[in-house]
Structure 1
Amino acid sequence: MKKLSIILLLLTGFGFAAKAQHDPSDQIISENWDIIGSVDFKTVKDTEMYAIFGNEIKKHANKPFELEGYIVPIKDGMKQTKFMLSTLPINQCFFCGKNGVPIMVMVELTEPIKFTYQTVKIKGTLKLSTANAMDSPPISLMAGKAL
């Protein structure tokens, strides 16, 4: 649970400052990540933050959606079915906040995939949550499959 809380903090815009910068050539840039990155957040108090979804991302809600990114595991293990997908590799998480915090999406796959440091392509149903983003990810790819 502690790992998920840390990941959620990164997801919602809090990061760790670092003296060095990440390697920008590793960052995944795509139209679909731009759509995900368009989500704003409203902080109500220290323990409450809510996603504000614009029309562009709402058009894709509950529909098939594809993203390429890096696996950020939530649980230990070589095979993963539930993890965060990031625009930056996990070895650059220490640099989050220095050049902007990479948005992350919760992924739940129908079949496990082997953990890799390489990018993976996932297709699933895009789900948007209006729940407190400090408790659960506001953006998910559900019933996903690795491509």
Structure 2
Amino acid sequence: MLKRIILILLVFSSSMAFSQNGENTWNTLSKVEIEKRFDETLNFEVDYPTFSEEVKKLNGKTIELKGWMIPLEELQGETYFVLSSLPFANCFFCGGAGPETVAEVFSKGKYRFTEKRITVRGKLEINAEDPMKLMYILHDAEIVD
């Protein structure tokens, strides 16, 4: 039983992303409070984040995130995709996870969709104002080993 618990913990922890200095980046990005507010323009409630100081310190910095591409057919093979910290079935769009578990990725080059977990490096932009974008955006990103 103990071996099974250790194996589950190892699998779970290996699915999280780490920055270049070994910090668990998705864990840091989860330090955000979400407030639902009615948006007059969109005519429905929208999630608005309030970022922790730890998250604010990452704004504009180059970070690495490990995760899975969201299989949006119209985005495959382009320079834009969404990265989820969780496999597709559990991601924000499809499961019970929150908006802090996904990031928009604008890459330097074109990448084909893959079902494998990838590591993406890019410059982080935090977004607290535009409800038409995700709250985490990576610019000039590239997939790294």
Output the TM-score relative to the length of structure 2. Answer: 0.71
Between 1:116-125 and 1:84-93, the stretch displaced more is 84-93
Give secondary structure in 2 for the equivalent of 1:80.
coil
What does 1:2-21 correspond to in 2, within 5 Å?
none
Partner SS, residue 58 of structure 1? helix
Other-structure match for 2:128: 130
Q: In the TM superposition, what is the alpha-carbon distance from 1:48 to its structure 2 partner?
A: 3.1
Give the Cα separation in 2 of the matches to 1:44 and 1:101: 16
Equivalent residue letter for 1:137: L
Partner of 1:20: none
Q: Which residue of 1 aligns with 2:116?
A: 118
1:26-82 deviation digits (Å, cap 9, x = unpaired): 782241010111122111224333111000111110010100100014443641321
TM-score under structure 1 normalisation?
0.71
Residue 118 and residue 26 in structure 1: after superposition, are their counterparts in 2 closer, same or farther (change >3 A)? Answer: farther
Matching residue of 2:74: 76
Q: In structure 1, what is the Cα distance between the partners aligned to 2:80 and 2:121?
A: 14
Aligned counterparts, 1:35-114, within 5 A: 35-45=28-38, 46-76=44-74, 78-93=76-91, 96-97=95-96, 100-101=97-98, 103-114=101-112
In the TM superposition, residue 114 of structure 1 has moved relative to its aligned partner by 1.7
Number of residue pairs the alignment of both structures matches: 122
Letter in 1 for 2:110: P
- Evaluate the alpha carbon distance shift between residue 113 and residue 26 of structure 1 in structure 2; reply closer, same or farther with a 3 A threshold: farther
The range that moved more, 72-81 or 40-49, is 72-81
User: In structure 2, how many angstroms separate the alpha carbons of the residues matched to 1:58 and 1:87?
Assistant: 19
Query: What letter matches 1:106 in structure 2?
Result: E
Residue 29, structure 1, aligned to residue 16, structure 2: yes
Is the CA contact 2:16–2:26 (under 8 Å) kept in the aligned structure 1? yes
Structure 1 runs not aligned, ≥5 long? 1-22
Change (3 A) 1:26 1:33: same
Distance 1:50 1:106, change over 3 A: same
8 A contact 1:48–1:132 mirrored in 2 = no
Quote the Cα distance in structure 2 between the aligned partners of 1:91 and 1:26. Answer: 15
Pick the structure with greater CA Rg. Answer: 2
CA RMSD of aligned residues (A): 2.6
Query: Runs of 4+ in structure 1 displaced over 6 angstroms?
Result: none
Give the Å deviation of 1:101: 4.1
